[in-house]
A and B are shown apart, each in its own frame.
Chain A
Amino acid sequence: MKRQVEKAVRRFQMFTHSDKILLPVSGGKDSIALWDILLKLHFKVHALHVQLGISEYSEKSADITKRFSEEKNAKLTIVNINEEYGFNIPLAVEKTKLPACSICGTTKRYVYNKFAQKENMDVIVTGHNMDDLAAQLRHSSSTWDLEGMLATYPVRPGKQGLIKRAKPLVYLTEKETLTYVITQKLPVFLEECPFSQGAWSIVEKQELNRIENKKPGFKYQYLTQFYKKAYPAIYEFEEKKKIKNDIKLKSCKICGAPTVKDYCWFCRTRAKILDIKLETN
């Protein structure tokens, strides 16, 4: 397990031992496994748990991360979005009628990025495993969503106000991360978020495992061959398109985050949730 993470870190030049690493932790098997492995490999890792206000689910998730941090004497910060930004996910869903995971995902990404900038962190690492990435690749490629396909790559360079991101569990399957937390007897929270919509990802994962069962090694090949053979060309194509379309990023008038409009998606959504009027010119 440790070796697979080391291999990914080296192969994709994710980070080094001198980098300050931000690790968002949910308390689920993947983030807990990754936290433990990064600590064992002596990386400088600072964990961040975002409390989303999703009733009992959020309480229990936070408890697990606190327990792990106490047991392992590991650095952990908990950010409560209600205290910090004045809303929680259920309220946001009610007010915006957007899918929970879309608001939640964007909010978490926003919080990670803000925190990483404030603390001068070099990289944000997430617990996406091989199954997550292969499922996402299948899903995105079913509609040739090129941006979505590119997002499965294990490392994304930082640019214009966005911190570099990496996915060190790319070579590990879900089965392996769960087996790891059980054998290492780590505290873990196995319940699913009540908002979890995951329908497509569950279907894709089951399908991939059905093939894997008949053709062992399939998932690994599927992903790594994409990275090797298709990713570079698609990346270049998309970059050229951006230059041609001359997409210029501005800074959000409230928080300074990169955006194509006056205000970033997060600030606009937050204003909607809290009934705040934003000035436009």
Chain B
Amino acid sequence: MEKKERIKPLIVKIIPGNKTHHFFKKMPVFKLLEELGLNSESVVVIRNGTPLTKDLIVAPGEQIEIISVISGGKKP
């Protein structure tokens, strides 16, 4: 517990909704999505303004944004 507090977490923000999750281990993007119960087809994962592919590794200390790509509005 104490140890965890000293490590900076991997901060994951989910948009829309702005819900934030913290993780304390390194993992590939697809694993992170699995843990969050998200489908990689339905989201774009972004680090420092750059979209990440499924196999890239994300790690504690980083900040990630996950944007849902699904929109419901009707196009004429």
Range of interface residues on B (Cβ < 8 Å):
20 to 34
* Cβ B44 vs Cβ A126 within 8 A: no
A105 lies within 8 A of B76 (CB): yes
CA distance A178 to B69 in the complex (A): 7
Q: Is the CB of B41 within 8 A of A198?
A: no
Q: Count CB-based A-B contacts (< 8 Å).
A: 88
A111 to B71, CA, bound (A): 23
- Tell me the nearest residue of chain B to A197, going by C-beta: B72
A183 touches B50 (CB 8 A): yes
**Is A35 close to B, CB under 8 A?**
no
Residues of A within 8 A of B49 (CB): 182, 185
The size bracket of the interface on A is 35 or more
Looking across the interface, which residue of chain B has its beta carbon closest to that of A128?
Answer: B75
- Given A212-B41, A213-B41; A198-B75 close (CB under 8 Å): no
Q: Does A182 contact B76, Cβ atoms closer than 8 Å? A: no
Chain-B contact segment, one of A200-208, A227-235, A250-258, A266-274: A200-208
Chain B residue contacts of A174, Cβ below 8 A = 69-71
Closest Cβ–Cβ distance, residue B72 to chain A (whole Å)? 2
Q: A247: CB under 8 A from chain B?
A: no
The answer to whether A209 has its CB under 8 Å from any CB of chain B is yes
Known: A178-B44, A179-B44. A190 touches B73 (CB 8 A): no
For window 26-51 of B, CB contacts with A under 8 Å fall at 39-44, 46, 49-51
| Docked pose: A178 CA to B43 CA in angstroms | 9
Q: Nearest Cβ distance between residue B76 and chain A, in whole angstroms?
A: 4
Using a CB–CB distance below 8 Å, which chain B residues touch chain A? 15-16, 39-44, 46, 49-51, 67, 69-76
Given A106-B76, A178-B44, 9 other A-B residues pairs in contact with their CB atoms under 8 A: A26-B75, A109-B76, A175-B42, A175-B43, A175-B44, A175-B69, A179-B44, A196-B74, A201-B74
Residues of A within 8 A of B (CB): 24, 26, 28-30, 101, 104-106, 108-109, 112, 126-128, 131-132, 173-175, 177-179, 182-183, 185, 190-193, 196-199, 201-202, 205-206, 209-210, 212-213
